Structure 1
Amino acid sequence: MSYDGVGPRSVMRSVAFLAAGALAVPLLAGCGAEDEPSKPLAAQDIAPAARASIADGGTLRWAVDAVPETFNAFQSDADATTARVAQAVLPSMYRLDANGRARRNPDYLESAKVVGTEPRQVVLYKLNQQAVWSDGREIGAADFAAQWRALSGKDSAYWTARNAGYDRIEKIERGDNDLEVRVTFDRPYSDWQSLFSPLYPKDVMGTPSSFNDGARGSLKVTAGPFLVKKVDRKKKQVRLARNPRWWGHQAKLQEIDLKAVAREDRAAELAAGKIDLAEIDPAAVERIDGAAKGSAGPLSGPGAGRTAAKALRSWALAHGSDEEAAEDETRARKKLTKAIAKWEKQQKALRDFEVRRSLEPAYTQLALNGANGPLADERVRRAVARALDRKELAALVLKPLGLPAVPVGSHLALSGQEAYADSSGALGGQDTAEAQALLADAGWVPGGPVKEEKKKDEEAAGAEGRTADEDESEGSEESEESEGDDESEGTYIVGEDDKARALDEYESGSRADDKGRAEDEHGYGPGSREGDEGRDENRQLAQEGAQHAPGAYAPKGTAAPAGAAGGVLAKNGKALSLRFVLPSGPGSEPLRTVAARISRMLLKVGIRTETVKVSDESYFKDHVASGEYDLALYSWPASAFPATDARPIYSKPVPAADGSLSVEQNYTRVGTDQVDQLFDRALAALDAGEERSLIRKADSRIWAAAGSIPLYQRPQLTAARKNLVNAGAFGFQTPVYEDMGFLKKGAKAAPGPSASSS
């Protein structure tokens, strides 16, 4: 799991599901082209080059988010860097191709196939006879068996994060010779190709103590083109070096240094020549693209927001009669001059880099918490979904980056993968009238009376609603359910309270923005442009809220006149307002922009949102995972094995032994028995076509339940030194580490497809 900027995991009522008959037509529409393979929306962008054109040696300095807490990919605190190291130094029986499909890795596996199904499923692996661990020992059945025992879930002494698939194995034994491994399953398992990737040596998997602690700090025994040379946590660096025992193509690079660099610091680190490859945010993309176009000066850097009037005022202050003000302004002008010079120098250095663009094998979704509150009603969830223009949301994020702005049509696969089919028809597209009809059917009445909450209840709600994280977040909005002051107790204005509140929030935001602009008079241009965009968004939202208000005076408790459009939606005296929780960190601007647009779309059908911004550190753990939200935005990675990997995300929550609710990774708390049954059947289907069909049916039912709404595939933006090849925005494909390197002098990379190709 991950939300944008991060890469990556209550009591639930029974969820009512639509009758099977009501789904029949949408299901057929969603699966009509299942025999036609889809294509990735964007090709990978890695500057491909033949090995003959790549220089031998060199060090690739690659920015990562952090030095991993563990190098054991099967532990709960494993992260993206754990996976990156494992790909470079450990065996994988299968790896993903450019279409996100699993392909046999010939460096380790000569063949693998199902050799029997009755009475048990049996898979026979034939290993590459040259495959050895870095200590010289052959890779064999003992390593497979040790990993199975560790991950089977039968011994709780192993602190494993997952055991999917391994829990279906009955036994592992040596085949006819040392190069054969025979795996027998006690239950059919369609995703058997997902197993043993990565494969750890028996030295790591053999005992609980070695599994729990042996691979946390480093990896002593490996079997890839690279090995772990040094882990320096003080310098926040992991150094990988060529494996002298590697039997495949020798790695072109001598070393790969994975360096922990904060996202906001990466542009400066690239310019300083300290890193060669880094995933970056849109602001850094703008800088590198600007450097390529020659815009190295103040038009795109410090002081970019200064108008002629501001410059004249600055000069007047510096040369005015107020000595103290003149001294302050002179210091500020000198500071700005230095900042401009530094910016120009960095921009010139950034001309050695380019941005490589693709789409991540991950998608961002809107999650709707169905555990309680208004969203426990499936009709309200469906209304939220029908209010959204997913094409507009995808374009908002992807179009400015030159990437294809196509909404994701599946929860379980992405375009290009074998299981992909657009099943969104099971829910339906944007339809304001249908959304309003669903809300009316659920009892939410436009302009209905809203009960005045008791003061003590407001105070209690306020104390509960304001967490420490929200107090620290400058962007947090106050609850929109607070009543007016005592002077207006006898009457209220139908809809006018919404207009006043929306305009007050906009004016408050404008004042904050004005203050920010004053403080940032000598600051960076991109920041001020983002502020302008945010004010425009808020202004439009406030104006639309005002437009919905009829403005008619009426005694308190009087329903709105018939036909009054867009006022407060209420039910049983309570206004319809959803708590939209968002991360507040600098890397999450895209999420907040999308959330603002979603709020505008929901307001058009009468659904108000209360935006609550919390720290990045607490966002997922304290809010999403714990169910403390109504609406949230976060991302899930795509998998070549959705029957295995997606099941815990969409399985129906069940009561645990201690009385709590076990949700696994289903943080929306929305699930059905039908979806669970389809996943179970897919896991047991050894025919690939049957498995795909079942996965697509499960996806249609997930769409219909409206617990989560896929929006767009995440952008993958990578800054790379221009002479670095076979590296960058990989898209679906597992990186081929031994082919990465720097071009020989005079050599050129092969022309690659553009990010927008399909």
Structure 2
Amino acid sequence: MDAPPADRRIPLRAGAALLAALALVLTGCSSSGGGSADAGRTVVPTLDAEDDNPQPAENVKDGGEFRPPLQQWITQWNPYQVDGTYGDAVEIMGYVEAKIFRSDAKGVFHPVPEYLISARVTSTAPQTVTYKLNPKAHWSDGKPIGYQDFKAVWQASNGKDPAYNPADSSGYEQISSVEQGADPTEVKVVFAEPYADWQNLFNPLLPASGLATPDAFNQSWVEKIPVWGGPFKPGVLDKTAQTITLVPNPDWWGPKPKLDRITYRVLATPAITQAFLNNEVDFASAGTAAAYGQLKEAKDGVIRTGTPWDEVHISFGGNGPLAEQPVRQALGRALDRAALIKIANQGVPVQFKPLGNHLFMTNQTGYQDNSGSWATFDPAAAKQLLEQAGWRDGGNGVRTKGGVPLDLHYVVSDGSAQTQLDLAAAVQAMLQQIGVKLTVDKVASKEYFTKYINQGRFDLASWRNTGSFPLSKGVANFRAPQGDNVFGNFSKLSTPEIDTLLRKAAGTIDPVEAAKLYNQADAKIWELGHTVELYQRPSIVAVRKGLANYGAGSLADTDITKVGWQK
């Protein structure tokens, strides 16, 4: 909820969505606050940190309620469906469904023992992955978790049947078969083409009963979670009250969760800070000057920071004048990124790092700045690009071509923090200097993604992409649409060369060679004029004192069973 209106997604990995709109930090029992060993309230954040107050189980109380905020009501709960990638929803589904892998702070994947006894590559010609399932693992309808669930995810997500609307077919389209192994607890997945990030697939795993037909895949998870298989289960989804509760799954075969209730409440972005101060929610983002200024001294609160995969950008649409690549390139040259970052960074004691890559964060191995001249502030060069594209000075400060003015619209949520509105106003002033009229349109926060971003109804817009780790999870944001399915590429801008490079990178096992290919693709994405990256966004959050095993992290996933209140 900081500079951008929300994060769009935590792509499916061993833990994200498309982080939540609020980084979805789980904070423990709302009535607690004593007995905390957390740091003082005025902790000064540092970059590249991870702070989740790690505590052994014996130091965490049994019971307690956690009250996180949500930025919007969740309609589509299927994280494999194109409309189901909203960050909070994907995070929650990792708590109520079969999260088969978790990554640690270094981004290394580990099988979750409640679901997997082992998972490994058992052949390289062709690449074959053998999963050995925990025989205790089962769904809420009593069915054991088995190969049919893996097969249903693959068939719905591989892009071969247009009746399914998958969020991302990366990895699944490389699979040639999913079959039972030596017994019902063994699954064999064979790849027609190598796929490096295989541990990212089937995670969280969903039951075949909810995926087996296009209607089930697209519709049976709307406004409900019909079957579950995680440590928590859905309680009450109250659309009228705009609250969602999770409670421990009584049939869970693993360690009992510490919390006995998680209650989510939908709040407009500006209201979340005050709700935290009023002890109405237990977590709030502190990534803007206004929020940090109020939250750093909050009673029973503590500031925590980390560096997750989290970026803020400005995306360009692909319609009207922006269908012309030189126009998009001109906009990139007209934006003073340093000035925009300064607006977002104002009053926050962590320096936001400029980001020169669409796929790597600055603290990831393989990162390099590929922005070149495409994001170098040069209004004169921007004007020249527009002139060459036939956009002439109209005499009133607005360029025209064929009698059509260069009139664009920047879409923002009406629930945006003031920082985001200030950023939009600055962009408006910068583009005016090169003869572009830019109107800032406020739209209803609950419709921002569903009716505007997801539908490509914008010329300019800013949001966050979070959790795009491993690297293959960023592919959906830049791949070519297939029919009506745009995956995560809402501007619909792409090229065959970018597609080929991204596909080849995802299939390259050697991480050094894969990084080279990803960086080649990234350079082409900059040249395309698809998105202007602004900065890597550190996680700066306020949590209620005493929260254990959750806070501001990096690449690590949360074990929700360990989250609770410190004794």
Q: TM-score, normalised by structure 2?
A: 0.80
Residue 717 of structure 1: CA displacement?
A: 4.4
Q: Deviations over 1:118-170 (max 9, x none)?
A: 3x332112234554445665432232223333434455565654444333332
The residue correspondences of 1:381-420 to structure 2 (distance < 5 A) are 381-418=328-365, 420=367
The residue correspondences of 1:600-749 to structure 2 (distance < 5 A) are 600-603=429-432, 606-617=434-445, 619-620=448-449, 624=453, 629-643=458-472, 645-652=473-480, 665-714=488-537, 716-744=539-567
| SS of alignment partner, residue 353 of structure 2 | coil
Say whether the 8 Å CA contact 1:263–1:280 is kept in structure 2: no
Q: Deviations over 1:241-290 (max 9, x none)?
A: 2234444433222222223333333344334433323446744433223x
Distance change (3 Å), C-alpha of 1:261 and 1:612: closer
Distance in 1 (CA, whole Å) between partners of 2:150 and 2:348 is 44
| Residue identity in the other structure for 1:5 | P
Distance change (3 Å), C-alpha of 1:239 and 1:666: closer
| SS of alignment partner, residue 190 of structure 2 | strand
Residue 100 of structure 1: CA displacement?
A: 5.0
Distance change (3 Å), C-alpha of 1:404 and 1:191: same
Map of 2:13 onto structure 1: none
Distance in 1 (CA, whole Å) between partners of 2:74 and 2:275 is 21
The residue correspondences of 1:94-173 to structure 2 (distance < 5 A) are 94-99=101-106, 102-118=109-125, 120-134=126-140, 138-155=144-161, 158=164, 160-173=166-179
| SS of alignment partner, residue 515 of structure 2 | helix
| SS of alignment partner, residue 265 of structure 1 | helix
Q: Does 1:275 align with 2:281?
A: yes
Equivalent of residue 93 in structure 1, options 90, 100, 103: 100
Residue 5 of structure 1: CA displacement?
A: 2.3
Distance in 2 (CA, whole Å) between partners of 1:418 and 1:175 is 36
Residue 571 of structure 1: CA displacement?
A: 6.8
Distance in 2 (CA, whole Å) between partners of 1:221 and 1:90 is 8
Distance change (3 Å), C-alpha of 1:371 and 1:580: closer
Distance in 2 (CA, whole Å) between partners of 1:270 and 1:83 is 23
Equivalent of residue 62 in structure 1, options 68, 83, 89: 68
| SS of alignment partner, residue 551 of structure 2 | coil
| Residue identity in the other structure for 2:6 | V
Aligned residue pairs: how many?
A: 528
Distance in 1 (CA, whole Å) between partners of 2:106 and 2:337 is 24
Distance in 2 (CA, whole Å) between partners of 1:366 and 1:630 is 10
Distance in 2 (CA, whole Å) between partners of 1:612 and 1:209 is 38
Residue 444 of structure 1: CA displacement?
A: 6.1
Map of 2:376 onto structure 1: 429
| SS of alignment partner, residue 400 of structure 1 | coil
The residue correspondences of 1:179-190 to structure 2 (distance < 5 A) are 179-190=185-196
Which stretch shows the higher mean deviation, 144-153 or 206-215?
A: 206-215
Distance change (3 Å), C-alpha of 1:692 and 1:442: same
Could you tell me the percent identity over the aligned residues? 31
| Residue identity in the other structure for 1:415 | T
Residue segments in structure 2 that go unaligned for 5+ positions in a row: 10-45
| Residue identity in the other structure for 2:559 | V
The residue correspondences of 1:437-452 to structure 2 (distance < 5 A) are 438-439=385-386, 442=389, 450=394
| SS of alignment partner, residue 354 of structure 2 | coil
Q: Does 1:592 align with 2:415?
A: no
Distance in 2 (CA, whole Å) between partners of 1:734 and 1:695 is 24
Distance change (3 Å), C-alpha of 1:147 and 1:666: closer
Say whether the 8 Å CA contact 1:391–1:406 is kept in structure 2: no
Q: Does 1:361 align with 2:190?
A: no
Map of 1:545 onto structure 2: none
Distance in 2 (CA, whole Å) between partners of 1:662 and 1:669 is 10
Distance change (3 Å), C-alpha of 1:125 and 1:203: same
Distance in 2 (CA, whole Å) between partners of 1:428 and 1:80 is 28
| Residue identity in the other structure for 1:356 | R
Distance in 2 (CA, whole Å) between partners of 1:577 and 1:155 is 40
Residue 89 of structure 1: CA displacement?
A: 1.8
Residue 414 of structure 1: CA displacement?
A: 1.8
Residue 697 of structure 1: CA displacement?
A: 0.7
Q: Does 1:581 align with 2:528?
A: no
Residue 210 of structure 1: CA displacement?
A: 4.7
Q: Deviations over 1:586-609 (max 9, x none)?
A: 4243222122333444455x3443
| Residue identity in the other structure for 2:51 | D
Residue 72 of structure 1: CA displacement?
A: 2.3
The residue correspondences of 1:267-306 to structure 2 (distance < 5 A) are 267-279=273-285, 282=288, 283-289=290-296, 292=297
Distance change (3 Å), C-alpha of 1:635 and 1:425: same
Equivalent of residue 89 in structure 2, options 74, 82, 95: 82
Q: TM-score, normalised by structure 1?
A: 0.62
- RMSD after superposition: 3.6
Distance change (3 Å), C-alpha of 1:72 and 1:43: same
Distance in 2 (CA, whole Å) between partners of 1:653 and 1:210 is 23
| Residue identity in the other structure for 2:302 | E
| SS of alignment partner, residue 351 of structure 1 | coil
Map of 1:203 onto structure 2: 209
Map of 2:262 onto structure 1: 256
Distance in 2 (CA, whole Å) between partners of 1:245 and 1:623 is 41
Say whether the 8 Å CA contact 1:100–1:416 is kept in structure 2: no
Residue 60 of structure 1: CA displacement?
A: 1.6
Q: Write out the 4+ residue segments of structure 1 that deviate beyond 6 Å after TM superposition.
A: 571-576
Larger-gyration structure (1/2): 1
Distance in 2 (CA, whole Å) between partners of 1:232 and 1:376 is 42
Map of 1:240 onto structure 2: 246
Distance change (3 Å), C-alpha of 1:670 and 1:426: farther
